[in-house]
Amino acid sequence: MKAPIAKKVTCEITQHGFSRNDEYAWLRDKNWKRFIDGDLTFADPDVKAYIDAENSYKDSIMAENKETEKALYNEILSRTKEDKQSYAFKKGGYYYYAREEQGLNYPLLCRKEALADGSMSVVEQIYFDINVEADGKELYSFRYSAVNRSNTFFAYMYNLTGSMGGTLKVWDLATGKELGFSVEDTTGHFLWASNEWIYYVEQDDSSRGKDVYKINIHQGISSRQLVFSKPDKYKDMFLAISETTDRSYLTIDLRSGSSQVLYVSKTGSEHFDEFIVGQHDITYELDHYNEQFYIKTNDFGAGDFCVMCCPVDQSRWRKKHWRELLGQTSGCSINAIHIYNTYLILERQNNNKALPELAVYNLNGESTATDLNVIAMPEQVYALSFIGAWEFQDSKVCFIFETPLSAESTYELDLKSLSLTLRHHESTPNFDSANYELKREMAKARDGELVPVTIIHKKGMKLDGSHPAFVYGYGSYGADMPAYFNASRFSLIDRGFVFCISHIRGGGDKGFDWYLNGKMRHKINSFNDFIDCCEHLISSGYSSAGNMAIHGGSAGGLLMGAVTNMRPDLFKAVIADVAFVDLVNTISDETLPLTPPEWEEWGNPIESRGDFEYMMSYSPYDNIERKAYPNMLYNSGISDEQVTYWEPTKMVAKLREYKTDKRLLLLNMKMYAGHAGASKKYEFIEERAFSYSFILKSFGVHHSRSY
């Protein structure tokens, strides 16, 4: 089957005196917003025909790899514990946990009563079966959920198309029946205001939060009350609502790129006052204890963040009344703060090791900065996720710990003794970590910066440059790339691949400056870092030029497009998921949901000629050249409003015209998916097996033999 060739339609675009002809702009269908709601009625039948042709071509090319794909699926499934149960967290009079069963795509949400001695009853209540709700639906994305304080009602958000929005519903846990109302067009998050009232955020036309409402679960929509409306001057910001750990105050966080506005309200009053305004990458995060606000901020010259405090009295909110509790620590960046009992818990990033940490500080007594206790972790390369506790008064909190060679473990941290207790470990069938080596190395970037690289390979592998490598990267929005466990990647490692995570600038792996030095007009550092990581793998004998596969999604898809344009000779295969590749056109279109807030991440090509020229210098779609490219697979979803479907579609269409080689170029457009891809467990495994089979096909590796 021949590859589809998209027609070309003249579309002249002029910005800052520079003209370009975007001949594939027609692939943006006028009905695209309907796709977000699941209506796939195309205004232009030619757009649908081209996407269908690309999907058919993809199926045809990959048909001969079905046995490989099946083998990969079975391997990944064999390392998936299908019958498992999460750690049971105590919430009031019940222990809550999720349980999975073989053959079911979604978890069962369960609870057991807490007995007088603190133990669990043997009687299980399945209070919500996601499989029942998802039955018959192509996609069912189960979002945020929470029980109320009295454990009598359960609220949850879900989505059926993969878009950013969510629908709110509530169940009566005594009867096991749904209450007779639902709330649509929310941002996908809510808070219990009391046992009978819920706060939620309603979306505006651009899928950004606009208004905060309160609703009574017994009265439904008729009880809806507006408690906060976003001021017009902040219309382009995202809106999120949260509460302090002790639930004494509500906060509303308006944010867009480097700007932030924080509002606060005492729980029950619902009168929100502006607490602080941050600009130029100055941010704030609030918690509360004993009539004091505790503020995590990089203000006052604390580039790696400090903790300030001030009285809750509104007249004393201004920064001149703040006092420093904990100054910034050299080599560490504070990511988040939490207060339980009398203890302040810091989620920190060790900038030198590019690893997360937990540190504890006692707010009672005569503590000083030297009393900050860093919790020792049981491994040298790891990822952790702080969970906390149900009650503010608790002196024991939980966190999830994992390594690239060990699945999730739940630890309990005693804040008084600082001791750790392992409460739950998720085992992995058909897997022995002793067969593999795990390393953390530093690749020297061209400007002298040291870029962390996490490396996994089979034990005893000779570093002679003969092995293929699989390198993952992201590098945007200050998001760190945690060294987490993923059982599926061992299907490649067992075939001789060296698996690597590149912790490049633009992410937060080495602190806030690591992020700042990979955004706006420093963005090229992200791409150079990734390439330099690959060069490090070559010079260290792990792999060789032209013998690497690379993978990234969303902004990581932009990374994939940029580095492939820059150094196609390094790579044999590229997988780009929901790839943000049409950078300049997207960030020049303020009607798109994410564009206005993104100007402070990438630049504003509408207003600034300098930003426009800088973005044009690396925008993947705009830098395609007539040259040879690696094998490439673009995975996407038609309902994605975060990275719209036409970005990867246009990229593939233009690459087909320009590339001079005969290597693989595939567009895999899922017609019932959004930004996150598949929602079903087994379908997710299928997607991973498909992508890995593309890698093996690109390398000419048969499913049954090692490289």
At 87-128, the pLDDT tens digits run: 999 999 999 999 999 999 999 999 999 999 999 999 999 999
Residue 369 has pLDDT above 70, yes or no: no
Domain total for the chain?
Answer: 3
Domain end (from 300, 331, 362): 331
Whether 388 and 443 map to the same domain: the answer is no
Q: Where are the alpha helices (DSSP H) in 603-680?
A: 609-616, 646-658
Domain end (from 386, 408, 427): 427
User: Which of 133-142, 162-171, 311-320 is least confident?
Assistant: 311-320
Whether 264 and 357 map to the same domain: the answer is no
Whether 403 and 533 map to the same domain: the answer is no
| Residue 632 covered by a domain | yes
Q: Which stretch of DSSP H or E encloses residue 215? A: strand 209-216
Looking only at the bridges linking them, the beta strands covering 355-362 and 343-350 are antiparallel
Q: Let me know if 384 is exposed, middle or buried by CB neighbors in 10 A (0-12, 13-18, 19+).
A: buried
| Residue 588 covered by a domain | yes
- The helix/strand/coil state of 263 is strand
Whether 142 and 227 map to the same domain: the answer is yes
Whether 624 and 488 map to the same domain: the answer is yes
| Residue 705 covered by a domain | no
Whether 129 and 117 map to the same domain: the answer is yes
Nearest to 146 by CA among 214, 84, 221, 96: 96
The residues facing 190 across adjacent strands are 200
| Residue 81 covered by a domain | no
Whether 440 and 408 map to the same domain: the answer is no
Q: Which domain holds residue 579?
A: 12-76+433-699
Rounded to an integer, the average pLDDT of 139-159 is 96
| Residue 707 covered by a domain | no
Whether 542 and 653 map to the same domain: the answer is yes
In DSSP notation, 132-194 reads HHHTT-S--EEEEEEE-TTS-EEEEEEESSSSS-EEEEEEETTTTEE-S--EEEEEEEEEESS
Contact status, residue 440 vs residue 380, Cβ threshold 8 Å:
yes
Nearest to 123 by CA among 136, 114, 134: 114
Above pLDDT 90, what percent of the chain? 91
| Residue 23 covered by a domain | yes
| Residue 203 covered by a domain | yes
Q: How many CB atoms lie within 10 A of CB 221?
A: 11
pLDDT tens digit string along 626-661? 999 999 999 999 999 999 999 999 999 999 999 999
Domain end (from 331, 356, 390): 331
Above pLDDT 70, what percent of the chain? 98
| Residue 3 covered by a domain | no
pLDDT tens digit string along 544-592? 999 999 999 999 999 999 999 999 999 999 999 999 999 999 999 999 9
CATH code of the domain covering residue 62: 3.40.50.1820
Q: How many CB atoms lie within 10 A of CB 268?
A: 10
pLDDT at 266: 93
pTM for the structure as a whole: 0.95
Whether 46 and 123 map to the same domain: the answer is no
pLDDT at 706: 43
pLDDT at 366: 53
